[in-house]
Structure 1
Amino acid sequence: MRAFLLSLALLLSVLPLGGHAQSRLPGLTEGVEYNTIDGGQPYRQLPPGMVEVAEVFAYTCPHCAHMAPMIDDWSRTLPAYARVVYVPGVFGRDDAWARAYFAEETSKTIPLLHRRLFTAIHETGDLPRNADVSQITQYASKVPGVNAAAFSAAIRNDAALLPKLKLAYEFSQRSGVEGTPTLIIAGRYIILGNSYENLLVNARKVINALAPRHATTSARPVAPAGPSKPRS
C-alpha cells in the first residue's frame, strides 16, 4: 500500500454537500477535519452507542510504525463509548502480514506482537519487509508469552482467515482508503490532518461530535486492552 502522505489529505477535494447533509458534524468543517464516505459502513458491528475508530494500517508502512505508539497512547484517552479497531491492509489471500495480524487476534497475542512486528521490520531488522508466513511464525515463537503452536495454526488456517481477509479488503475499498495509516470513524468519516498529531486531534473532535446522548467525552477511567509497548 502506498505510504500515507499526510499533506495530501488537505488537498483532497471537498465532497458534494448535498448528499451529506445528514452526515455533517456540528462545529466541524468537512474538508478540514474529515471527509464523508458515501455509503460508509463500520468495519465491525459494535454494541449500540459505541463509536468505531478504525485504523487501516500495514506493518511494512514506516508511517504506521511511527504512529503505532501514538495510537496506543491516544486510545487510552478516549471516552468509554469509543473503541479502536485495527484493520490490516490486504494485498491478496496470501498476504503474510495481514495473516499475521489476524493470527494475533485469534491467538490473543496483539499486546505481545502488534508493536513488536513494527519494531522488527523498521528498527531492528529482525524481519524483512517481504517476510513470509514461516519467517513471521519463527519470530513470533521466540516472543515470551506467545503460544507458538496456536499462532502457527492461526496464521495458516485458511478457513478462518479468508473471510477476515475479505472483510478487511472490502472495508478499505468501500471506504476509499488510498494509503496507510488511515483513520475512519463510525465507518462514515475519514479523518484529515497535516501531521500525525493533527490527525489524532481531528479524530478526537469527530469522536466527540458523535457522542451518544448523555455520554461523557472525557477519557475512560481504565485503559483499554490493546497493543502494549514491546518488552525489552
Structure 2
Amino acid sequence: MRALLLFIALFLTSAPFAAQAQAKLAGLTEGVEYTRIEGGQPYRQLPPGMVEVAEVFAYTCPHCAHFAPMIEAWAKTLPPHARVVYVPGVFGRDDAWARAYFAEEATKTIPLLHRSFFTAIHESGELPQNAGTAQIGQYAGRVRGVNAAAFNAALTNDAALVPKLRAAYEFAQRSGVEGTPSIIVAGRYMIRGNSYESLLANARKVVNALAPRRAAAPARPAAAPAAKRP
C-alpha cells in the first residue's frame, strides 16, 4: 500500500491542532506563534539540552524551493542550544525524492545537492517533479564533488533507507503535517505564520523560550568583620 502524506498548503500553521497539557511558553501565546502538538516527539534524538528545529519539506514543492535559502541562512543564526534538521515528506517506500535526501545524508553531500535539486526542478528544468531514482542519480553524478557510485548505492540501499523513510513518515503523521514547508520545534510546537519571515521569526521565539535555564550564581560569602585592635 502506498503511504500518502498530503502536501496541499503553504502554511498549514493556521489550522487548529489538539493541545496537550504542558506548560505554556513564557512570553508567547498559543495559537499565535505556535500550536502545541498532542503527544509530539522530536524527529531525532539530540544531545541533552539541544532543541530540534525540524523542517518538513518536499523537493517538488515550489514554496520549499523559495524557503530553502532562507532557512539555511536562518539556521546559522540560531543559538548554540538549537539545531535545524530537514525531514523529507514521504509518499511511500519508493519515493525517489525522499530517498534522494537520505542518500545525501549518507554520502555527506547535502551542501552540494540539497539546494541543487530545488534548482534543477524549479528553475533549470533539468529534473522533472516525477523523476525516478535513475534520473536523480545521473544528475547527482554530474555535480562536482559528488561520488556518483556512492550516491547511487545509497539511493538504492533499501536496508538503510526503509527505516529512515518510515521514521520521516511517522514524524510528519504524529505532528499533524498537512503541507510544506512546516516547522516543528522540539517535536511539540507547530510553528504558525502567514509569511516565510513570520514563520522563521516565530520559530526563533519558541527556540528562545526553550533555552536552558542558567543556574543562579552562588551567593558570595559575607566578608568577615575586621578584627578589633587591642
Q: Would you call these one fold, judging by a TM-score over 0.5?
A: yes
Question: How far apart are the structure 1 equivalents of 2:101 and 2:13?
Answer: 26
Aligned to 1:108: 108
Aligned to 1:151: 151
Aligned to 1:42: 42
2:9 equivalent to 1:4: yes
Aligned to 2:199: 199
SS in structure 1 opposite 2:43?
Answer: coil
Aligned to 1:120: 120
Aligned to 2:16: 13
TM-score, structure 1 length as denominator?
A: 0.88
Question: How far apart are the structure 2 equivalents of 1:139 and 1:169?
Answer: 26
Please give the per-residue CA displacement for 1:11-59, whole angstroms capped at 9, x wherever unaligned: x23645xx43x24101101110000000100000000000000000000
- Specify the code of the residue in structure 2 equivalent to 1:207: V
Please give the per-residue CA displacement for 1:183-215, whole angstroms capped at 9, x wherever unaligned: 000000000001000000000000000001129
SS in structure 2 opposite 1:94?
Answer: coil
Aligned to 1:133: 133
Aligned to 1:67: 67
Question: How far apart are the structure 1 equivalents of 2:109 and 2:103?
Answer: 8
Question: How far apart are the structure 2 equivalents of 1:5 and 1:55?
Answer: 13
TM-score, structure 2 length as denominator?
A: 0.88
Please give the per-residue CA displacement for 1:108-131, whole angstroms capped at 9, x wherever unaligned: 000000000000000000000000
Instruction: Give the CA RMSD over aligned residues.
Output: 1.3
Are the aligned partners of 1:14 and 1:30 in contact in 2 as well (CA < 8 Å)? no
Aligned to 2:85: 85
- Specify the code of the residue in structure 2 equivalent to 1:13: P
Question: How far apart are the structure 2 equivalents of 1:118 and 1:105?
Answer: 16
- Specify the code of the residue in structure 1 equivalent to 2:152: S
| Aligned sequence identity (%) | 73
SS in structure 2 opposite 1:77?
Answer: coil
Aligned to 1:95: 95
Are the aligned partners of 2:141 and 2:147 in contact in 1 as well (CA < 8 Å)? yes
SS in structure 1 opposite 2:54?
Answer: strand
Question: How far apart are the structure 1 equivalents of 2:44 and 2:18?
Answer: 25
SS in structure 2 opposite 1:32?
Answer: coil
Larger Rg: 2
Number of positions where the alignment pairs a residue of Structure 1 with one of Structure 2? 210
